Amino acid sequence: MDNQPVIEVNNLHHTYPNGVQALHGIDLRISSGEYIAVVGQNGSGKTTLAKHLNGLLKPSLGQIKINGIDISPMRISELSRIVGYVFQNPDDMLFCNSVEEEISFGLKLMGFEQSEKQERVEKSLKRMGLEQLRDQHPFTLSLGDRQRVAVACILAITPRIFVFDEPTTGQDYFGGQSIMETIEMLHADGCTILIITHDMRLVAEQAQRVIVMNGGRIAIDAPPGEAFKQLDLLEKLSLRAPQITRLSQLLGWQGEALLDVPGFCDWVEQSWRTQDEAKRW
């Protein structure tokens, strides 16, 4: 990780044409390879913020730099090679007759050579485990598979920054799990990840940094361990830490929030042991 932020947001304001002020002066630095979760109530400005990162929305005021370059004069098609944005509903994207065609269509329009295009399609299919489904019609696939096809389409463009808008909403447990694994994999490859989500367990277990939005402002910006410690503040923002975190705090855990079951077990085990020893004494 270098110190130069890959994403730099300065004093970002956004007002929608209908007069709704969605963002009030957001300042944000994101370093290369970070895994960030953006949470907050509906209408808190999460999606509005995310859509600025690849030019789908233009700032009313303020500036966004990606890799140190001001993105305001750039077109979405240019930006989409740097920032991949995966929409919540894959059906807004799919329209071709086969999975393979679906992935190659965007590449063709972006002007990739035939050989390079084919190589990218293959890589993308393999990465998303879609090789078996390459000739299938996207609409015959399950929602989870369609979501993977949508990710594969973005993946083929090989951006280094990924934005996922509520990737697990509407998915069953395994579907959600499989998408989270994909995102983890991209992160392991060194990509910068920003996910918008309501799933606190996912945030606790995967993200390195949590940004809590409220009324168009950043309310908390901290690692999950710190963010989920602030139970009162979270409650004010209508958010709840994961059950395991709350349980551990009820049982008297202090310090950085416990985020997952293994961590919780370690702690319980340890305290039991020390108690035993105390008794022994």
Q: Taking each helix axis as running N to C, give the angle between helix 243-250 and helix 261-280, from 0 to 180 degrees, rounded to the nearest 10.
A: 20
Closest approach, Cβ 129 to other proteins, in A, equals 19
Question: Which residue type is seen at 18?
Answer: N
Contact status: 85 vs other proteins (CB under 8 A)? yes
Radius of gyration in angstroms for the set of CA atoms belonging to the chain, rounded to a whole number: 21
Look up residue 133 and give its two tokens: 């489904």
Instruction: Report the residue number, 91 or 122, with the smaller CB distance to other proteins.
Output: 91
- Return the HEC string of 243-257: HHHHHHHHCCCCCCC
Interacting positions 228-257 with other proteins (CB under 8 A): none
Closest approach, Cβ 103 to other proteins, in A, equals 9
Look up residue 226 and give its two tokens: 């710190």
| Binder of other proteins out of 93, 143, 231, 268 (CB under 8 A) | 93
Interacting positions 24-53 with other proteins (CB under 8 A): 51
Interacting positions 176-215 with other proteins (CB under 8 A): none
| Binder of other proteins out of 45, 59, 106, 167 (CB under 8 A) | 106
Interface region with other proteins, contact rule CB under 8 A, candidates 108-116, 128-136, 172-180, 245-253: 108-116
- Return the HEC string of 135-157: CCCHHHCCHHHHHHHHHHHHHCC
Residue 35 pairs with which residues in a beta bridge?
193
The site string for other proteins over 121-160 (x = CB under 8 A, - otherwise) reads ------------------x-------------xx--x---
What's the number of CA atoms in the CB half-sphere (13 Å) around residue 59?
21
Q: Residue 113: how many CB atoms within 10 A of its CB?
A: 9
- Site size for other proteins, by CB under 8 A? 28
Question: Which residue type is seen at 135?
Answer: D
Closest approach, Cβ 66 to other proteins, in A, equals 15
Q: Which chain residues interact with other proteins by CB under 8 A?
A: 51, 54, 56, 75-77, 80-81, 84-87, 89, 91-95, 105-110, 139, 153-154, 157
